[in-house]
Amino acid sequence: MKYGLVSYEDVEFAPQNKGGNSPEGKDAWMRFDHGENEIRLLTDPYQYTMHRYKAEGDKGIGERVLCSAFHGSCPLCDLRDADSGKQLFPPKERWYAYVIDRRTGKECILDMAPSIFRQLKKLNKNPKVGDPKGLEINIEVDKNGPPTDYYDVQNLGPAPLSEDDVRIKKGLDLERLIKRCTPPTPEQVLERMKRIDAKFSGKEGTARHTAQAEEATEATQEESSSNDEYSFPPAQVS
């Protein structure tokens, strides 16, 4: 299980089962519009693994929780359907990278789904193209298209970084990406699950994992830090 900085060659996909300068230290996130979204990649990808956990009463798509399997076990990996044995909340790999949003001229964090990463990996593998960091990139979003065509990564050609681009790149805080990718402990995952359960139950004391999580309280991060690390927005389409 990898996390943090990786090369495109490092990442191999398993077969699928088909069935802006940030103000006050807060991260700015790349938000996709329908249509064209031009960016410049400033870093290689930083990998992390997350679950989409759905508490009882959650009518949405679930809450993001980082996976703790790096430490030997993960409470969410262990949750399985009693009949089929399949994982209820399977882990998913994603990637961060700092980019410049060409609409604003500022840096932000791109939270890459596998569909975007695969296309960048393909560019990187092409000897006539090479490292995507040397390219101007357009990510065309078709919010009306099927999932396989939702993101189309387009090579706009090589271009040197401008003086402003270089200044932005020199000022990046890579430790923030590493921190966001670092796997929590199993105890921290239980604590995060407790908070999500309480959010949807409306009663702090009736969450399904309250007893387990209370035993792990001393090993968890403080509330503000935990929320920052485990509740962050995905790239969104407006």
In the chain, what are the domain boundaries? 4-13+20-230
Distance separating alpha carbons of residues 231 and 158, to the nearest angstrom: 35
Residue 84 or 5, more confident: 84
For the chain, give the DSSP string.
---EE--GGG--PPPP----PPGGGPPPB--BPSB--EEEE-S--EEEEEEEE--TT--SS-EEEE--GGGT--HHHH-B-TTT--BSS--EEEEEEEEEETTTTEEEEEEE-HHHHHHHHHHHH-TTT--GGGEEEEEEE-TTS-GGGSEEEEEEEE-PPPHHHHHHHHT--HHHHHHHHSPPPHHHHHHHHHHHHHHHHS-GGG-TTHHHHHHTGGGSPPHHHHHHHH--PPP-B-
Q: What is the pTM of this model?
A: 0.74
The string of pLDDT tens digits covering residues 89-137 is 999 999 999 999 999 999 999 999 999 999 999 999 999 999 999 999 9
Quote the pLDDT of residue 13: 58
Given this model, what pLDDT does residue 115 score?
Answer: 94
CA separation for the pair 140, 34 (Å, rounded): 7
- The chain-wide mean pLDDT, for the chain, equals 83
**pLDDT above 80 for 219:** no
CATH class of 4-13+20-230: alpha beta
